[in-house]
Amino acid sequence: MKLYDLAMVCRSKNAGPFQVTIDLMFDSAERYQTVLNSPAFTVETIGNLYQTDPEKVAIKPFERILTIKVVLARSCSSGSPLDSDVYGSQQHFPLGNLEIE
């Protein structure tokens, strides 16, 4: 099943000029745990999806509110000439398409 199918909300946004966060919000503890415990949901996999070093990826679970925040280093600063998404709002697509086992 795709991550998009499990998460109630999957969105991305800037976390300053050098980072993007992807918020994954779930409507059940079961779905939250399925994603968090999936062997496909790792910093290595996410690093590969975003062509970045896994050391620049952080997975931050917030069980109380059934939310997972993924923090990524941007490949270039927001608003630079190389930036194609100033607000970081289109960066959730690769992660949302991830197949969760």
Residues 9, 29: Cα–Cα separation, whole Å: 14
45-72 residue pLDDT tens = 999 999 999 999 999 999 999 999 999 9
Q: What sign has the CA pseudo-torsion 63, 67, 71, 72?
A: positive
Domain ranges of the chain: 3-96
When pLDDT is averaged across residues 30-53 and rounded to a whole number, the result is: 97
Average pLDDT, the chain: 94
Residues 25, 89: Cα–Cα separation, whole Å: 16
- Residue 28: how many CA atoms within 13 Å on its side-chain side? 5
Specify the pTM. Answer: 0.92
**DSSP characters over 60-92:** EEEGGGTEEEEEEE-SS-TTSTT-S-TT-TTTT
